[in-house]
Amino acid sequence: MPIKELDTPYPVIDTDPHFRRVVRYMRPTDYAAWAAGTAAAPALLYGMEKMDPAGPIRNLRVPLKIATVIGAFGGFLLAYQNSSLRFWGWKENAVEVEKDKAEMSQLIAEGKRIYGESYMPEHIQDTAARVSRFSQLKFGIMPWFNFSNHSNHGVDLSKYATTTKNE
């Protein structure tokens, strides 16, 4: 099944990036969003408890810990989604494009497979790609990440082969 071509304002790096690549390409603003989500959840719980107490609860330790964990998880999903939007070309991604070109050109020069080795049959790789492509848009329903190596990434690999040999 062909990958749908989207008209994006910025260059597409990868339509189904691997989990490690998305996390490696996170910017400091993504980490700030993650930290803000982690801090905001217990702060909101504490503020709501002070404005309208729930009752005779004297100790907020456990609820604040749970809120912190939920905030950390939600903050991570927000940061991951923002990084994925740059891979798809939906947000400004000049830094990621340069980093991607350097990384992939290096892998080609070393003779390695660009998207890693996969021991899955081709039809399973296709299925894995179809299931995880653009899954970051559905985080509100179920968090789903691409942990599989496959060759269905929706980009023309010839753009990595044009490197200078002057080095």
Q: Which residue has the higher pLDDT, 59 or 166?
A: 59
CB 157 within 8 A of CB 39: no
Q: What is the pTM of this model?
A: 0.84
Which pair of structure tokens corresponds to residue 39? 């801090």
CA atoms within 13 A on the CB side of 83: 26
- Please enumerate in sequence order all residues whose Cβ is within 8 A of that of 128, keeping only pairs 6 or more positions apart, or say none: 120, 146, 148, 150
Q: How far apart are CA 77 and CA 89, in angstroms?
A: 18
Which pLDDT score is estimated for 166? 38
pLDDT value at 120 more than 50: yes
Q: How many CB atoms lie within 10 A of CB 5?
A: 9
Which pair of structure tokens corresponds to residue 30? 């993504």
User: Using 50, 70 and 90 to split pLDDT, how confident is the model at 164?
Assistant: very low
CB 149 within 8 A of CB 18: yes
Give the tens place of pLDDT for each residue, 64-106: 999 999 999 999 999 999 999 999 999 999 999 999 888 888 8
Give the tens place of pLDDT for each residue, 6-59: 788 999 888 888 899 999 999 999 999 999 999 999 999 999 998 988 777 778
